Structure 1
Amino acid sequence: MRVLLVEDDEPVAESLRRGLVRYGFEVSWVTTGAAALAEADPYDLVLLDLGLPDTDGLDVCRALRRRGDVPIIVISARSDETDRVVGLEIGADDYVSKPFGVREVVARIRAVLRRARPAEQQAAAGPDRYGPRLTVDRRAARVRLDGAELPLTPKEYDLLAFLTEEPGALMSREQIMEAVWDANWFGPTKTLDVHVAALRRKLAGAVAIEAVRGVGFRLVVAPVPAASPDDSP
């Protein structure tokens, strides 16, 4: 999934780019409206800032929409309701106001893409499977263990959904806190350990959440058991 990010504020763009990459998106970053309109490589979605140095982002949005139906999410510090209405009326699919968290942007991207994808493709996608016992249905925000729905708190689900984005990858505590508790979280990270412990209890035997001291956590999917000789026909 390739995202074209049009943003001239380097700290904002870098933070957003890193966050999107962690969620599995490929990001191409440009800083001007002219560069966005000149982008030759195909992309699946546009994140478009309105306050660009060379032109008004609304004009870029209008030009992109005339070219095709690629989803566009406007991101802006402008809080005026008029800008939101105009952006949506000229073809933007959604609008995110600064400051925002990466998780909010990812959630909006997924919602826009679900609306843009044909219904039959959505149905075909189905839940994601991790090993023989665990499935995560991100569309419905439901987790099943051995076919039965597993009761999770909202934060337990968010944590599991993040760790299963890339099984086996080591995620730092800072990455997890930013993704699950948002970049503006200023509380203790002990809450992360509490939620990891709860998930370990509920998912014992299906997946493991390994701790790397001083760094963070990785999710490891339990392998499919090898068949014994007695199981052969």
Structure 2
Amino acid sequence: MNKPFILVVEDDSAVRNLITTTLETQRYRFQAAPTGETAILEAVSHNPDVVLLDLGLPDMDGIEIIRKIRTWSKMPIIVISARSEDTDKIEALDAGADDYLTKPFSVEELLARLRVTFRRLYDSGGSAPGDMVFTNGDLRIDYAAGCVYVKEKELHLTPMEYKILCLLAKNAGKVLTHTTITKEIWGSAWDNDVASLRVFMATLRKKIEADPSAPKYIQTHVGVGYRMMRV
């Protein structure tokens, strides 16, 4: 099987060289794009397996690129950005990004995020937890179809949101620590993983909870982790 093809969208030459050198050492195929316009052309022309996207590009904002790509493709997009505020991360995820990595980052962390993405791409037919359908109040997860419904309305979750929700559902009633969740989802427990988990929980709650400020499905245990409540 050919190695995955990765599109690197980054205008900072030092960061771009770091990423491409890392990919080269791992024998990944890649193409670099320094601008948003070039990135969109490369995405259309080469249909990459994954896009690594900086948000602060000279000709357009990365959020706009995410929205444009999402009009025609579900290719995984991992944002790599110096914007570290939760609002920036939530905006990118809401626009359609699959994951978010904050600069500065380690190459080990970047490679871990890529491995998680590729496992989802190539092993998406993995075992479903327990029954093929999980029901909790108005929430329903159809594992076989990979779909989530609230009051029979299908929700559009990112792959990471879906994976986190399934993990919590599989362990409904149990408190899962931050470390347990991040190791299961990303295969690591970096500080960035815990920060990303908090953001993913915020976006997930916006989609499944009637009132995200008073959640009934996912309970936060401050300083510990999260629990799927039985409704």
TM-score (structure 1 length as normaliser): 0.50
Residue 111 of structure 1: CA displacement? 0.8
Which residue does 1:18 correspond to in 2?
21
Residue 118 of structure 1: CA displacement? 4.5
Which residue does 1:5 correspond to in 2?
8
Please, which of 79, 100, 110 is the counterpart of residue 84 of structure 2? 79
After superposition, give the CA deviation of every residue in 1:45-67 in whole Å (9 maximum; x if it has no partner): 00000000000000001111111
Q: 1:5 to 1:85 in 2, by over 3 A?
A: same
- CA distance in structure 2 between the aligned counterparts of 1:22 and 1:98, rounded to whole angstroms: 21
**Identical aligned pairs, as a percentage?**
43
Kindly tell me the number of residue pairs found equivalent between the two proteins: 122
Residue 42 of structure 1: CA displacement? 2.7
Q: Does 1:29 align with 2:46?
A: no
Which one-letter code corresponds to 2:5 in the other structure? R
Paired residues for 1:93-132 under 5 Å: 93-120=98-125
Which one-letter code corresponds to 1:84 in the other structure? K
Residue 36 of structure 1: CA displacement? 0.7
Residue 115 of structure 1: CA displacement? 2.3
Runs of 4+ in 1 over 3 A off after TM superposition: 116-120
Greater Rg by CA: 1
Q: Does 1:47 align with 2:52?
A: yes
- CA distance in structure 2 between the aligned counterparts of 1:67 and 1:33, rounded to whole angstroms: 16
Q: Secondary structure at the match of 2:79?
A: strand
Unaligned residue ranges in structure 2 (runs of 5+): 128-231
- CA distance in structure 2 between the aligned counterparts of 1:32 and 1:82, rounded to whole angstroms: 24
- CA distance in structure 2 between the aligned counterparts of 1:118 and 1:79, rounded to whole angstroms: 31
Which residue does 2:41 correspond to in 1?
38
Unaligned residue ranges in structure 1 (runs of 5+): 124-233
After superposition, give the CA deviation of every residue in 1:156-213 in whole Å (9 maximum; x if it has no partner): xxxxxxxxxxxxxxxxxxxxxxxxxxxxxxxxxxxxxxxxxxxxxxxxxxxxxxxxxx
Residue 20 of structure 1: CA displacement? 1.1
Residue 119 of structure 1: CA displacement? 3.2
- CA distance in structure 2 between the aligned counterparts of 1:67 and 1:102, rounded to whole angstroms: 30
Paired residues for 1:150-161 under 5 Å: none
- CA distance in structure 1 between the aligned counterparts of 2:87 and 2:117, rounded to whole angstroms: 21
RMSD value, Cα: 1.4
Q: Secondary structure at the match of 2:52?
A: strand
Please, which of 87, 90, 97 is the counterpart of residue 92 of structure 1? 97
Contact between 1:71 and 1:113, CA under 8 Å: does it hold in 2?
Answer: no
- CA distance in structure 2 between the aligned counterparts of 1:97 and 1:113, rounded to whole angstroms: 20
Which one-letter code corresponds to 1:23 in the other structure? Q
Which one-letter code corresponds to 2:19 in the other structure? L
Which residue does 2:193 correspond to in 1?
none
Q: Secondary structure at the match of 2:71?
A: helix
- CA distance in structure 1 between the aligned counterparts of 2:70 and 2:119, rounded to whole angstroms: 19
- CA distance in structure 2 between the aligned counterparts of 1:83 and 1:113, rounded to whole angstroms: 25
TM-score (structure 2 length as normaliser): 0.51
- CA distance in structure 1 between the aligned counterparts of 2:123 and 2:114, rounded to whole angstroms: 16
